Chain A
Amino acid sequence: MTKTKANDLEQALSRSRYEWVDKLKELGRELRRDTAGFIGVVLITALVLMAVFAPLISPHDPTEQDLTARLVPPVWYEKGSWGHVFGTDHLGRDILSRAIHGSRVSLWVGVSVVSLAGGFGVVMGLLAGYLGGRTDAFIMRWVDTQVAFPGLLLALIILAVIGPSLTTVVLVLSLNGWMVYGRMTRSAVLAIRQSPYVEAAEVVGCRWPRIIFRHILPNLTSSLLTLGILEFARIVLAEAALSFLGLGIQPPATSWGLDVSMGKNYMFMAWWLVTIPGCAIGITVLAINLVASWLRLISDPQEREKQFARHMAGSMRKAMVLKAETERRQP
């Protein structure tokens, strides 16, 4: 008896594992249908790999100075060499290596800010939406008040007093960015609060922490994921801007924004100093935005329906053309 039960369980588990794999495969199929989303995912995967294996793939140490080879142009110029593919900066540091290492900072700041701000904001939104009453009023007032703050200026003042570093940048950006998650989670919770499965959980006697984390939160995953990815893009830009202003990452560490601001002074002689790191930021953010808009498309039922209709119309048109052609050939 117990043995068969265990067998059943195992079977069910293995089946569910297949379902999971199937779902992933289906996602992959849909991804291939959307070229822009596909490019985005490929770019992001490449970026993450680049960040993880930065020391292995970068041709030089990003901080290694070579004063005999200053402001060397990229390889396609006459004076360029394959030793420095994208040239060197005013201290003779390799631009390509700095760009590769810069991806680490951007992605790390993005991941930590999104998880810190997102975690806090989502918990606040869940509490406000589910508990309602005074908790809701208090949290939403707090959100409203903080949204009306001159965010960047406050961030600047905090950075100026405490002193810029990777940690302060992450903290300041998180403090400034949690409100979006709070607002969105709250409105989503309000929308599904009255749904039968939440009421069923209440009737069964689940305590509220269990209801909000085990029953409500999993149903918000797709919209929160899209928001998180969009925020990730915003954070990468914000970190670059702070570093550009000299209030973010400090030398000798590398960051794309920092490299642009250092290259600014040599811009008129050596355009590649600002262009290469700037392109790196642009490509990263563009890739993230492409993935976000693809995710929004596939997680929105209305959009899915439209896409399906378009697909069907396309295949019907194809079939009709084929039919017309065969009919023309037959007589």
Chain B
Amino acid sequence: MGIFIFKRLIHGLIVILGVTLIVFVVTRMVGDPVKVMLPLESTQEQRDAFKKQLGLDRPIPVQLVNFLKDIARLDFGDSLWQKRPAMEIVFEKLPLTLALTAVGVGLACVFAIPLGIISALRPGGALDRLTVFGSLLGLSMPQFWMGLLFILLFAVQLRILPTSGSATPSHIILPALTMALPTLARLVMLVRSSMIDELNQPYVKTAFARGLPFVRVVGGHALKNAGLPIMTLIGWEVIRSLAGYSVVVETVFAWPGIGLTAIQAIEREDLILIQAIVFTAAISVVLINIAMDFIYKLIDPRLKLT
């Protein structure tokens, strides 16, 4: 177990180093940060002073070392847009994205698991076909468009839900619903196919033959054995959302999480804030990946962790 944690942490470090290198190369060597961040009419002296302030007048290797030091201390400097430490902004916005992700993925799980099981009980039946077609439809519609349609329906036509911001708890309903739908579609398909596989196994027949109650066989035996791929997908959906895919939903509903902040930082060409966001996302992805491995071990003790 100790070796396993060590290996995972090393891999996580490699991932973060990889992200560092890409961000470094893209921001300092391909693009010119001074040109991007200062207005066009700034003078040469201003540019030089700015360069010095960011340490960009030093040789590239020195810059790289300084960059790594900054990352190790999680100190990226002050955001150019809001004039305060970038990490402060990120820590302010991160809980909102986490909340949106939790409610969205939670909502998807609550509906997907029963729906998937029910359609797996009668593959090819009317309900099953409806579910499969529905999830295919859910996978095919662009998420931002679904969000806009929800706004048109619930906020403009019915006037029952707020469209943007995060002022009251009811503000989370529409964004979370939009977040949940593609996840729901993917999850239903997976629950359905792995439950069909599991229900055809001999041990299920044995359990039925022994006279165990239906709910216990399906919900207890079969679902537990089908659980691993389902858990993988749920974890992957959380990672996906934190790794930037919440940007779309947050933009549509003006939900002030890190995704919307990232887009605003890009519009204002605030490279420091963007870097802080990308690294926070990378670190959370690494941590969730490690956590997922532990959950696997909890679900299935037979698994060997390597």
List residues of A whose CB falls within 8 A of some B CB: 141, 144-146, 148-158, 160-162, 233, 237, 240-241, 244-247, 257, 260-261, 264, 267-268, 271, 274-275, 278, 281-283, 285-286, 289-290, 293
Contacts and interface: CB of A to CB of B under 8 A. Distances in A.
A92 to B, nearest CB: 22
B71 interface: no
Interface string B262-275: 11001101010011
Contacts of A233: 139-140
B82 to A, nearest CB: 17
A245 B244 CA distance: 12
Interface string B44-73: 000000000000000000000000000000
Interface size class of B (residues with CB under 8 A): 35 or more
A39 B200 CA distance: 31
B263 A286 contact: no
Contacts of B143: 237, 241
A145 B13 CA distance: 10
B14 A145 contact: yes
Nearest to B16: A148
B141 interface: yes
B145 A149 contact: no
A281 B139 contact: no
Interface string B1-26: 00000000001101100110011001
Contacts of B27: 157, 161
A150 B269 CA distance: 20
18 contacts: A148-B285, A149-B22, A152-B244, A152-B247, A153-B262, A157-B23, A240-B142, A241-B142, A244-B251, A260-B142, A260-B145, A264-B148, A267-B152, A271-B152, A278-B142, A278-B145, A282-B145, A285-B142
A247 B269 CA distance: 13
Contact of B243 (A144, A153, A282, A289): A153
A156 B247 contact: yes
B167 interface: no
A161 B26 contact: yes
B74 interface: no
Contacts of A290: 136
B19 A245 contact: no
Contacts of B148: 260, 264, 267, 274, 278
B81 interface: no
A274 B278 CA distance: 30
Interface in B127-169: 136-137, 139-145, 148-149, 151-152, 156
Contacts of A152: 243-245, 247
A141 B18 CA distance: 12
B179 interface: no
B115 interface: no
Nearest to B31: A161
A241 B144 contact: yes
Contact of A285 (B139, B263, B281): B139
Interface in B27-49: 27, 30-31, 36
Contact of B278 (A146, A157, A275): A157
Given A148-B285, A245-B251, A257-B142, A156 B15 contact: no
